[in-house]
Structure 1
Amino acid sequence: MSQSAYIKLVKGSQDQELTLEHIKATLLRYREQTARTGEQLGWDYAEAAFPYTIESSGDERWFYLKGINVHYKHIIMGPSTSTSVGGDQVPCIQVVLPEEATHGDKAKANELCRYLAKSLAAELTMFNGRTVYYNPRK
């Protein structure tokens, strides 16, 4: 059975709407940052930190990350809506691990979810149901 994580743009988040291109741009920024870290260390860290290629789907509602080696298969991402604690519909990023996903996919998806949530100052509901708040709360 597939598992999902949600990165919700709640009150206090940097952005209040999401597009497919915005999500892709954030992932590309992550890949660029890890490549720079690898240059400083003298190691090809970019491939280890982001072992995927970004592949488009046919309907442009979502995209998937396709693994470049045998330890990684697929992660699916796309904008969606979710219900917040107050019952309101809020924009979110849904991250799906399909049935054929590996343990490496789940670990990397957790890492990418944390990065996306932190960069968007959002609320993250992880695959295990726990919630992490990266947004400023009062």
Structure 2
Amino acid sequence: MITTLGKEVQLKNFKGKVVLIDTWATWCGPCLNHRPRIKDFAKKYQDNSNLAILMISVDEKTNRWLDFVEKDNPTNDGFDLFIENSTHTAFGNHYNINSIPRYILIGKNGKIINSNINEPSLALEEEIDIALRN
């Protein structure tokens, strides 16, 4: 995965944290509809070093993703990341990314808490808060 600055990042960089993964793309209507809520989560928890919100784009072209993120998330809430062809990579295979949007919550111990999240909601926020307390 790469950041908007071109720095390579791996999931292991977030070991010991609660991780919310949002897999999305600029061409995905439901993803774009849910994105403001994900950014709200990122803003709400921005001072909590025990949580990482990873917004991982599966766009085919880095430039399209970068152009969108620069306009949509100028304050860099959360971690906007890009994986080229991510649905056809070890990441996509490991996390069963067959369709998007796809939300996955991982606990501090690295185990998946919930991989069947329909959308960012109050229920997800409660799951995040519980995971942070554990």
Give the greater-gyration-radius structure (CA). 1
Report which of the two has the higher share of helix.
2
TM-score by length of 1: 0.30
TM-score by length of 2: 0.30
Report which of the two has the higher share of strand.
1
